[in-house]
Amino acid sequence: MTTRAAGEPSLPTMEPNIQVHQLHKRYGRTVAVDGLTFTVRPGQVTGFVGPNGAGKSTTMRVILGLDRPDTGTATIGGRPYRSLRTPLREVGTLLDAAAVHPGRRARDHLLWMAHSNGLPRSRVDTVLEMVGLTDVARRRAGGFSLGMRQRLGIAGALLGDPPVLMFDEPVNGLDPEGIRWIRNLLRSLAGQGRAIFVSSHLMSELEDTADHLIVVGRGRLIADTSVRDMLAAASGGRVVLRTKDRAAAMTRLANAGATVAATGPDELVIGGLPADRVVNLLSQAGVPFSEVAGHRASLEQAYMDLTRDSVEFSGAVKESR
Amino acid sequence: MYALHMEWTKLRTVATTGWWLLGLVACTVGLAAFVSSTVDAVNCAPRCDFDLPRLSLSGVYIGQIAAVALGALAVTTEYDTAMVRTTLAAYPRRGAVLAAKLAVVTVVVLGCAALGVLGSLAVARGILPGNGFTRANGYPPLSLGDRATLRAYLGTVLYLGLIAILSAGVGATLRNTAATVSMVLGMLYVLPIVIPFLPTGAWRDALYRYSPMSAGLTVQATRGLNALPIGPWPGLGVLAGYAGAAVLAGALLFRLRDA
């Protein structure tokens, strides 16, 4: 008998992820990516943030095998992109919404993509429906607004129903309705267990969407952290207090060793004391207060602090060639 | 096979493809009709040694522009819109992508070239007898049964296919529609315009032999072959050499360069 023995290990199932390891890439004398290492994991939205010129688009092109790294590796589920036979089934990408032939109908654009990976024609209609372009599917892409092109690009990314998705600045040029739509889409895709990788040069665009952040500046990794940790670090354990008797509260808390700053006529930000100690002290002293809350730093501020030193001031270095 | 299916879908879903193909057939046949109607078998002195098959195929001088455009556009439109990145993300094996592009555009051009050439034969056969090109005057009707005539017609179809391949190869090298079309049209037309003004001799013959259009269209000649600087098939071979070199350069750069 030649049946397989029980307990024989089955083929290893590779986690659907993106792994970038020690990536270096320069164009002429410009260093675009300088030793990046990070992993994009399934089941969450990973934001890829950094100022313009930080190397985000370059990194994404290298992940897709479009540009060759000088050294280092980028893999999808452990395999280099160029070795994937039907990559649209493994990774969906939106790099540049303008990268469609203006004379081709939206549906035909998706059709050639489907044919390139042996995907059934029915998938084209499915993704058109998902992004809400069914009614304009027979119109030429040249007449599309930027928002419609973004939707078409996202439809292309979803075509192969891939476990990994990568979007370069997907909300660029979208109206508020479109931005909300993309946010909800990204959240729901991550909720289905997919690995979602989204770049932006604006932290505010990712604030409500991302679970995890890869922050880069000048091609280097600045932070690889969860959104929650980043906010906590930025808040520094400070407490916000509302009180009608600002002077009394300031005196009492300063005497207890806190650093106190007035941020409004009836608002104080207190550092160096936990919230419950603040409440106890003020209650004992009979100082009236109406609200005590953890100070919520904006992600934007935390990001600005992190990237202050790595912003490209000159116009000489462009993000996308 | 996925690559071929992809490229075929791309080619057939842009309207410009159809217009250029129509242009190829229409220009080839139209010019054949025009030239056929301007020659006269009787009042032709001092030059009456007409090479009728070649005359009837004069349409390629214009029709080939469509082949240049089709070959170039198959590659360069992808760069005009950065769509090449979408293509390579969908199908990362670059050699196969370029081969598929060449295959679909060449087959389509060959098909339309055959239509255009057969159309030229038909209009020439219809018009020429009215201008005195009759059996009685020593001009039997054009026929593919004649070996030299068949070679001229078949060779012209192959010529147009090679022009498309040449153009696609240059396109993969230059990655820009305007630059590619200018470059290929320059390669084709500059020497044939200059050559007639040069004094006859070794230099002039050498330029003829190395001009892709002059040498390539020698395949149309059915008379006075001994007076030509290069034979019909070797002439087409010169064009094939140019096309092959362009494709080789384009393929190499396509594989090596960042997209």
Residues with Cβ within 8 Å of residue A320, at least 6 apart in sequence: A57, A96
pLDDT at position A8? 44
Amino acid at position B156, single letter: T
Amino acid at position B170, single letter: V
Amino acid at position B10, single letter: K
pLDDT at position A233? 73
List, for residues A162-172, the tens digit of each pLDDT value: 999 999 999 88
Residues A195-201, mean pLDDT to the nearest whole number: 94
Contact A67 B81 (CB under 8 A): no
Torsion of CA A25, B86, B89, A219, to 10 degrees: 20
Question: Residue A72 is encoded by which pair of tokens?
Answer: 């280092």
Q: How far is B90 from A114, CA to CA, in rounded Å?
A: 9
> CA separation (Å) from A320 to A52, A54, A96, A203, A312?
9, 10, 10, 19, 14
> CA separation (Å) from A136 to A93, A112, A131, A153, A158?
22, 17, 11, 14, 18
Torsion of CA B101, B103, B106, B109, to 10 degrees: -80
Question: Residue B50 is encoded by which pair of tokens?
Answer: 């007409």
Using the predicted structure, report yes or no on whether residue A12 has a pLDDT greater than 60: no
Residue in A91, A102, A117 closest to B2 by CB: A117
Q: What whole-number percentage of chain A has pLDDT above 70?
A: 90
Is the pTM higher than 0.80?
Answer: yes
> CA separation (Å) from B66 to A261, B45, B116, B170?
75, 35, 12, 15
Using the predicted structure, report yes or no on whether residue A312 has a pLDDT greater than 70: no
Using the predicted structure, report yes or no on whether residue A4 has a pLDDT greater than 50: no
Nearest CA in chain A to B78: A101
Interface test with B, best of A116, A144, A320 (most B CBs within 10 A): A116
- Label residue A191 by pLDDT band (50, 70, 90): very high
List, for residues A41-63, the tens digit of each pLDDT value: 999 999 999 988 899 999 999 99
Interface test with B, best of A57, A84, A112 (most B CBs within 10 A): A112
Q: What is the DSSP letter of B100?
A: H
Q: Which regions of A192-251 does DSSP assign to beta strands (E)? A: 195-200, 212-217, 220-226, 239-242
The residue among A301 and B108 whose pLDDT is bigger is B108
- Label residue A204 by pLDDT band (50, 70, 90): confident
Specify the range with the lowest mean pLDDT, choosing from A81-85, A144-148, A317-321, B237-241.
A317-321
Question: Residue A274 is encoded by which pair of tokens?
Answer: 């936990």
Q: Which of A120, A129, A42, A116 is nearest to A77 (CA)?
A: A42
The residue among A138 and A292 whose pLDDT is bigger is A138
List, for residues B37-96, the tens digit of each pLDDT value: 999 888 877 777 889 999 999 999 999 999 999 999 999 999 998 899 999 999 999 999
Chain A residues with beta carbon closer than 8 angstroms to that of B15: 103
Contact A156 B77 (CB under 8 A): no
pLDDT at position A215? 92
Residues with Cβ within 8 Å of residue B175, at least 6 apart in sequence: B75, B76, B79
Residues A241-262, mean pLDDT to the nearest whole number: 87
> Residue B77's domain spans which residues?
2-256
- Label residue A310 by pLDDT band (50, 70, 90): low
Residues A117-122, mean pLDDT to the nearest whole number: 96
Q: How far is A59 from A23, CA to CA, in rounded Å?
A: 8
The residue among A2 and A203 whose pLDDT is bigger is A203
How would you write B186-200 as a 3-class SS string? HHHHHHHHHHHHCCC
Using the predicted structure, report yes or no on whether residue A314 has a pLDDT greater than 60: no
Report the number of distinct structural domains present in chain B: 1
Taking a C-beta distance cutoff of 8 angstroms, is the pair B76, B236 a contact?
Answer: no
pLDDT at position B85? 95
Q: How far is B127 from B37, CA to CA, in rounded Å?
A: 6
> CA separation (Å) from A244 to A191, A265, A268, A290?
45, 9, 11, 8
Nearest CA in chain B to A160: B90
- Label residue A311 by pLDDT band (50, 70, 90): low
Q: What whole-number percentage of chain A has pLDDT above 90?
A: 55
Using the predicted structure, report yes or no on whether residue A231 has a pLDDT greater than 80: no
Question: Would you give per-residue pLDDT tens digits along chain B (259 residues)?
Answer: 899 999 999 999 999 999 999 999 999 999 999 999 999 888 877 777 889 999 999 999 999 999 999 999 999 999 998 899 999 999 999 999 999 999 999 999 999 999 999 999 999 999 999 998 988 888 888 989 899 999 999 999 999 999 999 999 999 999 999 999 999 999 999 999 999 898 888 889 999 999 999 999 999 999 888 889 999 999 999 999 999 999 999 999 999 999 8
Q: How far is B90 from chain A (nearest CA, A)?
A: 6
Backbone angles phi, psi at B14, to 5 degrees: -115, 135
The residue among B54 and A15 whose pLDDT is bigger is B54
Residues A273-281, mean pLDDT to the nearest whole number: 85
Backbone angles phi, psi at B189, to 5 degrees: -95, -25
pLDDT at position B157? 98
Contact A87 B16 (CB under 8 A): no
Q: How far is A279 from A310, CA to CA, in rounded Å?
A: 41
Helix (H) or strand (E) holding A76: strand A71-76
The residue among A98 and B149 whose pLDDT is bigger is B149
Sign of CA dihedral A95, A49, A79, A62: positive
State whether residue B253 sits within 8 Å of chain A by CB: no
Specify the range with the lowest mean pLDDT, choosing from A270-274, A309-313, B241-245.
A309-313
DSSP structure string for A142-178? GG--HHHHHHHHHHHHHTT--SEEEEESTTTT--HHH
Q: Which residues are paired to A46 by β-bridges?
A: A197, A212
- Label residue A293 by pLDDT band (50, 70, 90): confident
Residue in B5, B16, B89 closest to A93 by CB: B89
Contact B82 A68 (CB under 8 A): no
